[in-house]
Amino acid sequence: MPQQSDTELLRDSMTREVSNDAYAIAAQIFKGPEPDVGRVSTQQLDDRYRQAFSQNDRTYLQQEATRDPAQFLASMQRLGVTMPPGQELTPEPKLPAAAKANAPVPKPPASALQQTYGSLEEVPAQPLASPVPLQPAVPPVMPPPGTVPGM
């Protein structure tokens, strides 16, 4: 194995140290389910919602509906909960269909298709314009009289 520089030795040493510590640190950070997160059965969830309805706990029910709308609506269907008469939600109208990606390109107006000249020979010749204006050449600067270095 070729001799490693000090920089490479330091890099490898730090990599080993971090790699060895990573497992222990991960075990401390990710201990498993957090205390405020737990799994409950469908029956337990339905019982809790039924209790909230009987206590008229609208705040809790609104929070639950916001937290997981699909779960809340599924539980409401299992419990047979419906909106009171006259307060049914009106379904939102469907959004307009997306435009087709292969829609035909509109045709240009007839005025854009008219030819100004009948043939290429009828097009008047334009003088070529110089992109950079021509300037008179500047004579090279002569060195002052005296000794010439290197002689």
Domain boundaries defined on the chain: 6-79
Binning pLDDT at 50, 70 and 90, where does residue 129 land? low
Q: Is the pTM of this model over 0.85?
A: no
Tokens representing 109 are: 């107006």
Tokens representing 63 are: 């929070």
Mean pLDDT of 98-108: 72
Share of the chain above pLDDT 70, in %: 76
**Phi and psi at residue 142, to the nearest 5°:** -90, 140
Share of the chain above pLDDT 90, in %: 15
Tell me which DSSP letter residue 28 carries.
Answer: H
**Residue 61: per-residue pLDDT:** 92
In the block, tokens 């699909």 appear at 70
Q: What is the DSSP string of 40-76?
A: --HHHHHHHHHHHHHTT-HHHHHHHHHH-HHHHHHHH
